């Protein structure tokens, strides 16, 4: 089940949806290639009519094919979502499970990439949170550096937004406005979000 707008909280918007790298499908693809080669070899030896008229031979290939289709569905439904409020990991084809990490509870974000991962563009991203879950891993994610940077940027935007709507002193408002403008210029927040936060800050003057 894909993450939908119906799952968003009031005032929440989706910033980025990421998936695992396509390389996670390498194993089921190789299994299908081997099964196809074996089936071709049997057909060349016994004749294709013998293979087509014997269900065990057909089942021999249908099982790996079903395995591949299942893994494709699993990858499609395993989503890593960054919003302007939280980071969500949701997975499951039939039964769905999810993990939420509020941006203000994230203490540290890190990523790990092997030499092959840097070449092909995959790696792991980890979150260290103040909650009971501790460290959460997003494994074999595509473009992990961009995913990590997006979390860091949204966490900073959320921090500034929280300060603006909280009990910040009037002397802090010019600094917060500059920080918001920088986030807007870096496309971390939209122009509309900038104007909303700007109005909230100016109302305190």
Tens of pLDDT, residues 54-86 = 777 777 788 899 999 999 999 999 999 999 889
Longest dimension (CA), the chain: 87
Q: What is the pLDDT of residue 12?
A: 86
Q: Which residue from 77, 103, 144, 143 is spatially nearest to 13, judged by alpha carbons?
A: 103
Residue 138: enclosing H or E segment and its boundaries? Answer: strand 135-142
Report, as an integer, the average pLDDT of 153-176. 70
Residue ranges covered by each domain of the chain: 5-20+78-202, 23-75
Residue 108: enclosing H or E segment and its boundaries? Answer: strand 106-112
Torsion of CA 140, 143, 146, 147, to 10 degrees: -30
Domain 5-20+78-202 has CATH 2.30.29.30: yes
> pLDDT, tens digit, for every residue of 119-159?
999 999 999 987 666 788 999 999 999 999 999 888 888 88
What percent of the chain is predicted at pLDDT more than 70?
A: 86
- Please provide the distance, in angstroms rounded to a whole number, between the alpha carbons at the two ends of the chain: 46
Question: Is 109 strand, coil or helix?
Answer: strand
Q: Is the pTM of this model over 0.85?
A: no
The values of phi and psi at residue 143, to 5°, are 50, 60
> What average pLDDT is seen over the chain?
83
């Amino acid at each position: 089940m894909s993450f939908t707008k119906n799952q968003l909280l009031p005032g929440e918007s989706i910033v980025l949806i990421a998936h695992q790298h396509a390389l996670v499908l390498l194993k089921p693809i190789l299994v299908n290639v081997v099964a196809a080669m074996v089936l071709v070899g049997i057909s060349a030896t016994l004749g294709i009519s013998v293979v087509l008229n014997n269900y065990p031979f057909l089942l021999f290939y249908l099982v790996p094919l079903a395995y591949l289709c299942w893994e494709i569905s699993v990858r499609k439904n395993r989503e890593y979502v960054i919003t302007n409020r939280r980071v969500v990991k949701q997975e499951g084809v039939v039964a769905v499970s999810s993990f939420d990490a509020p941006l203000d509870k994230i203490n540290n974000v890190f990523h790990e990439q092997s030499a092959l991962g840097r070449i092909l563009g995959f790696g792991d991203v980890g979150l260290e949170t103040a909650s009971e879950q501790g460290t959460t891993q997003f494994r074999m994610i595509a473009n992990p550096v961009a995913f990590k940077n997006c979390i860091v940027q949204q966490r900073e935007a959320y921090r500034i937004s929280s300060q603006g709507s909280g009990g910040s002193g009037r002397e802090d408002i010019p600094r917060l406005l500059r920080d918001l403008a920088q986030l807007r210029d870096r496309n971390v927040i939209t122009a509309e979000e900038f104007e909303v936060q700007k109005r909230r800050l100016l109302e305190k003057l």
